[in-house]
Structure 1
């Protein structure tokens, strides 16, 4: 029987999956893709990072094969997204970015914890947490023929790295898992929302031509 915390994490994970899937739907809609294209972008955005993580860790079958509810959430989100795409009233601009920030925070922690459960070092856990949070969006952007957002000046992957470090350090200090999770998620969510609100970004690198 799952504990209350595990149930909350699971429900939150489904929410994050739906949010990431919806961002894939928006990109597909902007590119005027057909229904199959919408489903593909929704799926790779929502579960792409976790799939790569599980394959690297050897956690097979990967999580969505063992629990097909993830696929049902993605399909439902894609159908819902396509059905409301032509409605005149849209959500306030900040709703999706804030929800995305929450999903990013949760995915980071889930990825880091899964890596640690396989006996990896803290460094690998941070990488796996970051990959869980950002790799799906990178695949989505590549399929959409765009430079992935996380490779530009957006404070996105940086927030995941910070969250992963805080989570692993907190556990190393013998902090309980729930407290470590809350600290990590608060840091990722707070940094990402602050970056959105104050338009914070990382410095860019460019080669100057003579």
Structure 2
């Protein structure tokens, strides 16, 4: 669980830092956006389930991983080809990992299945939401793209597999692959949620 959580932190930190680099932020700005993207969802999760202080503040490894990865992304960004595509792939991976670990932690805290699914979804989208707001973008979750729906489907899969009593590694891996695959497929095929019909007046 710790390894999956820290991998999620690293992936979202890289996603946030890449978005900061693309917006021409300075070193502090890039690290701050990476920090918020990496730890925002986890802090939200811990506050909702009553785990205070949040793990991101209690365990030094979380903040350290976020800061180191964001800093490395700042200095190595010239080597990252097609920065926007990189951000989208990293974001999809972070969404998958954070949704799965968030849902499992909610279940471990005794949250009922429906509530655990909602918490998992919020954890998954929280970091990306903070990143987009800080970089002046309309949050992906509010746009037409399939994002929160993918997270919710993955959270439901976590709860279902957990209830079936399957091996813990499978409960972690299968929903994460599902979320990641749905997100990338939605980007590739331009799938979107329906929009309200325009006003005819």
TM-score, length of structure 2 as denominator length: 0.89
Partner of 1:48: 40
Residues 108 and 129 in structure 1, CA contact (< 8 A), matched pair in contact too: yes
1:41 Cα deviation after fit: 0.7
Partner of 2:51: 59
Partner of 2:118: 127
1:176 Cα deviation after fit: 3.7
SS at match of 1:61: coil
1:127 Cα deviation after fit: 1.0
- RMSD of aligned residue pairs (Cα, Å): 2.0
The answer to whether 1:34 aligns with 2:26 is yes
1:61 Cα deviation after fit: 1.7
Change (3 A) 1:120 1:48: same
**Which consecutive residues of structure 1, in runs of 5 or more, have no partner in the other structure?**
1-8
1:95 Cα deviation after fit: 4.7
Residue among 159, 168, 180 paired with 2:159? 168
1:209 Cα deviation after fit: 4.8
Residues 145 and 187 in structure 2, CA contact (< 8 A), matched pair in contact too: no
Residues 108 and 132 in structure 1, CA contact (< 8 A), matched pair in contact too: yes
Residues 57 and 115 in structure 1, CA contact (< 8 A), matched pair in contact too: yes
SS at match of 2:24: coil
Residue among 169, 187, 193 paired with 2:184? 193
1:146 Cα deviation after fit: 2.2
1:30 Cα deviation after fit: 2.8
Distance 1:149 1:95 in 2: 15
Residues 18 and 87 in structure 2, CA contact (< 8 A), matched pair in contact too: no
Distance 1:172 1:201 in 2: 30
SS at match of 1:91: coil
Worse-superposed segment, 34-43 or 167-176: 167-176
Within-5 A mapping of 1:23-172: 23-85=15-77, 87=78, 89-91=79-81, 94-172=85-163
SS at match of 1:205: coil
Query: Could you list the per-position Cα deviations for residues 48-70 of structure 1 after superposition, in whole angstroms to 9, with x for gaps in the alignment?
Result: 01101101111112112221111
TM-score, length of structure 1 as denominator length: 0.85
Distance 1:178 1:90 in 2: 31
Residues 50 and 131 in structure 1, CA contact (< 8 A), matched pair in contact too: no
Partner of 2:11: 19
Change (3 A) 1:10 1:62: same
**Which consecutive residues of structure 2, in runs of 5 or more, have no partner in the other structure?**
none
